[in-house]
Amino acid sequence: MLTKLSVKDLWITSNATFITLYSLYLSSWIIRLPFVASIPRIMTNIAVATAYFLTLYPQKQNLDRILENTNTFCFLFFLTNPPLLFMLPFYISSVVNVSSVVLTHPKLKKYAFASYCHAVNKNRENVIMLAYIIELCMIPLVILSSLLGYSSFFNMVSYGLLIKMSLKIDMMMRRALLIILQVIDSKIMNLPKDWQKLYMDLKDYMQVKHIVVNEEMKNK
């Protein structure tokens, strides 16, 4: 049986593996790194899926809490082996989470990268908000990718369930949605009437399903 300490160590290792692999992928988009192409995408997905699974392990005897935990849906999403682009917001979140652990770990905070972790932790809320905004903006791409056959139907469904649960229980995710709506509101009048109507219908639907959006719009 895994102890609390071993779960934490495995969690750090899984996140560190995910961050390392994804950083290599990001670097390969900027500079030529031929060996990166030979790294199977599923290795990255397994690393981050393991990290999310380990956050659920302490709650293994409480099914209700597991089903109401967004990490459950993150775990399911990565089991579908999503394309690399869709991992970006989770990569940012992992960097934030690992940074906070590094700063409290006696053996890790003495290394040079701890200064970068300190900078990330100092701007933790803004960085997490950026991750959430990207996560919401990915929705059309996830749907389109599934419809065009670049990713699976289960990939789209699990992502949709993740977003739905996040909007239900995470105030920062609802704030991220509000920021996106405010930007669209400022630009929508420049679009054709049909697009404006489609947006307003969608916005009305979101206000019915997520009352917090409606209330926040009144108070902004």
Q: Is 133 left (phi over 0), alpha (psi -120 to 50) or beta?
A: alpha
Residue 58 CA to residue 10 CA, distance in Å, equals: 13
The amino acid occupying position 95 is: V
The predicted structure's pLDDT at residue 220: 47
**Separation between Cα atoms, residue 157 and residue 205, nearest integer Å:** 19
Domain segments of the chain: what residues?
A: 4-169, 171-220
pLDDT at 4: 66
Which residue in 10, 36, 38 sits closest to 21, CA to CA?
36
Walking along the chain (220 residues) 10 residues at a time, the average pLDDT comes out as: 75 94 90 85 94 88 84 95 95 93 76 81 94 96 94 95 92 92 83 82 68 48
Model pLDDT, residue 78: 96
Burial of 120 (0-12, 13-18, 19+ CB in 10 A): buried
Residue 49 near residue 75 (C-beta atoms within 8 A)? yes
DSSP code, position 151: S
Please tell me the predicted confidence (pLDDT) of residue 160. 95
Closest CA to 133 of 175, 99, 164: 175
Residue 139 is classified by DSSP as: H
Calpha distance 207→150 (Å, rounded): 31
pLDDT at 48: 96
What's the rounded Cα separation, in Å, for the pair 144 and 164?
A: 18
According to the model, what pLDDT value does residue 102 have? 82
